[in-house]
Amino acid sequence: MSAAKFTARFRSVGNPDFGQYAPVSNPQIATADTLGEIVAAWHAYVDEWALGGGNCPAIPIKSGKRVVARISYNGRLWHPTRKRPLSSVYQDTMIDDALSDAEIAALEGKRP
CA separation for the pair 27, 41 (Å, rounded): 13
Which residues make beta-bridge pairs with 8? 30, 61
In a domain, 81, yes or no: yes
Domain of residue 101, residue span: 6-107
User: What's the pLDDT score for residue 29?
Assistant: 97
* Residue 45 reports pLDDT greater than 60: yes
Q: Which residues contact 41 (CB under 8 A, 6 or more apart)?
A: 8, 10, 30, 32
112 in a structural domain: no
In a domain, 96, yes or no: yes
> Is 48 part of any domain?
yes
pLDDT band at 103 (very low <50, low <70, confident <90, very high): low
Indicate the pLDDT class of residue 106, thresholds 50, 70 and 90: confident
Q: By percentage, how much of the chain surpasses pLDDT 90?
A: 38
Round the average pLDDT of the chain to a whole number and report it. Answer: 81
| Residues forming beta bridges with residue 59, ordered by sequence position | 71
- The mean pLDDT value for 69-79 works out to 86
Q: Above 90 in pLDDT, residue 99?
A: no
* Mean pLDDT along residues 63-87: 80
Indicate whether 1 belongs to any domain: no
pTM above 0.95, yes or no: no
Q: Domains in the chain: how many in total? A: 1
Rg (CA), the chain: 14
